[in-house]
Chain A
Amino acid sequence: MSIRPVNIDEFTETSFEDIEASVSPTNWKKRSQQSSPLRDVAAAPSTASSESTTFSNDKKRYSTHTESDEDGGAFLDDFEEFHGKASRGEIVKSHFENVNLEPTFRPSTEAQESEGDDELQELTRRFGNKFDIKSRHLSGAQRPRSAFKTFKQPQSMMDLRESTTRPSSRSSHELTNSKSATNLRSGSRLGPRGIQYKKSVPALSKYDMIREEDEQDNYNDEFEDELKFEKSLLQPQFLPKEDEGSLLDLSPSQYTITADDSILTPQLHKRHRDWVRPSQLEMFREPLRHEKPAVKHRDSRKLSVSHRLKTIKQEIDHNTPMKKGRMVYNPETLKWEGNEQALAKFRDVDSFDKKALVIQGRPDLQPPRERSSSTRSGTRKHGKVVGRMMFDQDNLRWIRLDGDEKDPFAEIPDYIPPVSFSEPSLKKKLPTKRSQSQFAPSRDQCGGRYPSSATTRYHSLNTPSSSSDPTFNIDSKSLERFYHEENKWSKKVGGWFILRDAEAEGYGADQELPDPKNNSYMYEIRNMVMSSARN
């Protein structure tokens, strides 16, 4: 509700021509308790377009800027949910009320708290500019992005009636300026002394209750424009049910392809800078415009906290069984039972963990890769690992993880391009890779993550010479081929193996994967069946 200082003398100025005689300046003056014309809003809604109204005085400024609503209908029609609906206003309104939870009445006397605050003008201006539901976002045509432009003021907001019984006199506030208040309609059709307030303009105060001076600014800066009219804002009955959880319902073949566990948490970025030191914590500190001297007022603040802090204590013993909705309290386990399906999401997470861990432990699900079996981690700080090769980002080259690379060309002078030599060896590698990979799962499941014998054998096939230089070249073509081969293989056998055992060996301790540990293979089977059924 708006309790706003108004200078009645100014009402004749420019844009108040439409004000009915009964709200003439003299009337206003007499009713000095009236703090704002907004309080004289007539009940009858109007969607007529309006320009901007600004009341201001030396202390405070008040703006009810609204914009033309004329294209509002067309805009709403752009939304399927509203298309063709006759009573859009009702829809929007009910939506607004629904979505925006339970508005409660706020006493206007609190407005006094903000009086005299020098920042108020500035804040109010910012509100008007940045988050002014009344103006731009509810009805504004100037901001076509604003989905709210066709928002009508909910009926509940319209009931700002003029009333002489209203308290809160604010005669000291004078309205010294006003511009184009065409939203103040002639009262003749709106009832006695009614100022028609635009439907799309919530007659909400910007004035009262600015308690959090130090944050208010924050809050409004924090949001970019918006109250976007997204479909999620709409009432659920207008929406198709979204299929939640499908995002995480990946089949094993999908997520085991990659050895990069950061893919599982794509939003997380690897650390490029130095790790944060405790001394650097300051740079993350949230800025408060008025950082309160917490230490100084600590005692009093604590007092106020203890004053305001209410504690609800239980009246019944925690051993009492209870039932609430679908949840049943089990006093023995001290748990609410029910809603078990909620855990399924985390089971997915756990299987993600497994994949990620598997990848870290160089496990068995990826036969082509693990054949080389020496990758401990798919993504180390050094870079990508393919097979037993790891990309050395410093030198931009691939090196062997186990380090015992032999350079067949060690004794050959440099002028011979190494590429020509690498080709034949690659051709050799491929069949080797394939054949060896068939053994890989069982071998690795025995815990032989780094079977040196296999490595040696493999190695000896390719590099009969016993030079010790640990580098050789793989051209990108071959790498690509490796990749495709591997993908093919993973696709084929991706659902065959359960990684649990191998992974649990190494990582079970620090990675808590409790419940599904024993029967999560069922989930794997389920996925396998589902994916095969799909095919």
Chain B
Amino acid sequence: MSMVSGGDTPLLPHPKNTFTLKIGLIGDAQVGKTSLMVKYVENVFDEEYTQTLGVNCLSKKITLGSADILFYIMDLGGQREFINMLPLASEGAKAIIFLFDLTRPETLKSIKEWHRQATGFNEQAVPLLVGTKYDLFVNLDPEYQAQISKQSMRYAQAMDAPLIFCSTSHSINVQKIFKIVIAKLYNLTMRASEIKQIGDPLLIYKYLGSSRRPASGSSTSSSAS
């Protein structure tokens, strides 16, 4: 319905209390971008792999205090042939979630390229680095776990991005990802304590991703120095 504003002050805008946040999910194929999105929005997990042919979009509204936040999540197919649609998922996004598969180190390595390209379109977005399939990760060699944890931490530091290890199938840290998005965008302080011990599903966000990118209003690509 449309709000009818009083005739005496037609100049004032309509009341606004829903904030739309576009979120881009980016990462190699089969790291679990779509799964994460569907899990978050619908709380469903499907083991079957469904290739994303383009960009998937789902929206979810949450209520936060007196405002509503509408997540508009765009998940870009990880195959290379869809990378020309990267602007769709990254431009105008308030947060870009970079996903990698904790059990496949090469997907972490790819983050560099994803990050370069995504930030080329959108420098203002808050980046998040998310390692997926934590439930499989714990089966792996402790030394491997430690190496991946450290390496991803370094990536997170380089990107100034909160680092989260999640498991979509086991509902680990899925909600937190999006809470962190809100926390970073609105400078809120999250209650959830960080998880820092190697081997645990890392949740490190407090000092990462807080440095505000240039203006959030304009999605123009101001060239970085």
Interface digits, A247-285 against B, CB 8 Å rule (1 contact, 0 not)?
110000000000001101101111111011110111011
| Nearest neighbor of A320 in chain B, beta-carbon distance | B84
Contact residues on B (Cβ < 8 Å of other chain), bracket? 35 or more
| Nearest neighbor of B170 in chain A, beta-carbon distance | A281
| Interface locus among A169-177, A213-221, A421-429, A465-473 | A213-221
Partner of A284, one of B38, B61, B170, B225: B170
Interface digits, A313-351 against B, CB 8 Å rule (1 contact, 0 not)?
110101010101111010100111011111101101100
Partner of A205, one of B17, B62, B113, B207: B17
Contacts of B14 in A (CB 8 A): 105, 156, 159
Verify if B30 is at the interface (C-beta below 8 Å from A).
no
Is A302 in contact with B117, judged by CB distance below 8 angstroms? no
Given contacts A226-B188, A339-B224, contact A232 B53 (CB under 8 A): no
Contacts of B54 in A (CB 8 A): 311-314
Contacts of B8 in A (CB 8 A): 43, 191
Is A311 in contact with B109, judged by CB distance below 8 angstroms? no
Is A286 in contact with B172, judged by CB distance below 8 angstroms? yes
Is B84 in contact with A314, judged by CB distance below 8 angstroms? yes
Q: For the complex, what is the distance from the CA of A222 to the CA of B177, rounded to whole Å?
A: 12
CB distance from A485 to the nearest CB of B (A): 29
Is B43 in contact with A288, judged by CB distance below 8 angstroms? yes
Partner of A1, one of B3, B46, B65, B155: B3
Instruction: Name the residue in A168, A267, A320 with the highest tally of chain B Cβ atoms < 10 Å from its Cβ.
Output: A267
Total number of A residues with any Cβ neighbor in B under 8 Å? 134
Verify if B115 is at the interface (C-beta below 8 Å from A).
yes
| B-to-A contact residues, CB < 8 Å | 1-6, 8-9, 12-21, 38, 41-46, 52-68, 70, 80-88, 91, 94, 105-106, 109, 112-113, 115-117, 119-121, 134-135, 138-139, 142, 145-147, 149-151, 153-155, 157-160, 167, 170-176, 179, 182-183, 185-192, 194, 196-202, 204, 207, 210-212, 214-217, 220-221, 223-225
Sample of 27 A–B contacts (CB below 8 Å): A101-B216, A104-B19, A105-B16, A106-B68, A159-B3, A159-B12, A159-B15, A206-B66, A222-B190, A242-B211, A244-B160, A271-B199, A272-B197, A278-B138, A284-B173, A286-B171, A301-B44, A310-B56, A310-B57, A312-B56, A318-B82, A325-B121, A325-B220, A335-B83, A342-B115, A349-B155, A510-B105
Told that A242-B212, A270-B198 touch, could you supply 17 new A-B pairs with CB distance under 8 A? A1-B3, A100-B19, A103-B19, A103-B20, A104-B20, A105-B3, A156-B15, A161-B6, A206-B65, A206-B66, A244-B160, A267-B204, A276-B138, A305-B41, A310-B56, A335-B83, A335-B113
